[in-house]
Structure 1
Amino acid sequence: MTIESMNHFTVLSSNLERSKNFYTNILGLTEGYRPPFAFPGAWLYAKNQAILHIMTGKPLPTNAAGVIDHMAFTATNLQAVIDTLKQNSIHYELHRLKGLESWQLFFHDPDGAKVELDFPANEPEPKE
């Protein structure tokens, strides 16, 4: 067996509509086909790949299972993303990686999942 790529992440949500709005309006993912599971949720796509699954309808765990710290996506147009986060009053941290000069932008979804967006080094420094 050989791992070829990451298929998707699944996040638990306390409010499906709020989570869908966050990931579609802030990250630009699009909602697409989801099989008719017996529990509510949504599949969100980048291009034609369902990369983020949202599950809801059960209580969020008090003690989160596992050790995944965050999910990361490759992105473009750093300034537009910063502007969108500001317009939606979403706190973020921006870092420039020494040596690589690429940008890392961190923030949290409505239920506290940490999101990282990675931007190429040639993106101009945003006006904060």
Structure 2
Amino acid sequence: MQGLRLDHATIRTAKMEETVAFFARFLSMKPGWRPPLRSDGTWLYAEDGDYPIIHLIEAPPGQAGGMFDHFALRGSGLLEYVRKLRNACQSFEAKALPDTPFTQVHHYDPNGVKIEVIFEETAQPHLIACSVAYPPTATA
């Protein structure tokens, strides 16, 4: 995939104000615009940045998976990527990000690490629908 780059990391926190202050103090990051999402949170931008590189999600301590949530890559070729996932019978979730031109595709690697790939593309929902249950169920 051409143009692939790290987009952001997401951290769950029960200490939102303290975490925002930490990133502001040590990395000069500041809260910025965030679309309306299901979870409460804050997106942090570099001092001279034009997109958020740390996503914070309000969460109680001790949730499954620890406090690291996922990493995200910026990619191109949304429909080709979805086709690859379908051909491999991979479970995934693809959805448009509200109030933006972006589509997110979430799936898991073999170690159970959640991966998000963000495309600056949109598509009709039926073109990016998954036929395999998401998230995948654990097998013994």
Return the TM-score normalized by structure 1: 0.45
TM-score normalised over the length of structure 2:
0.42
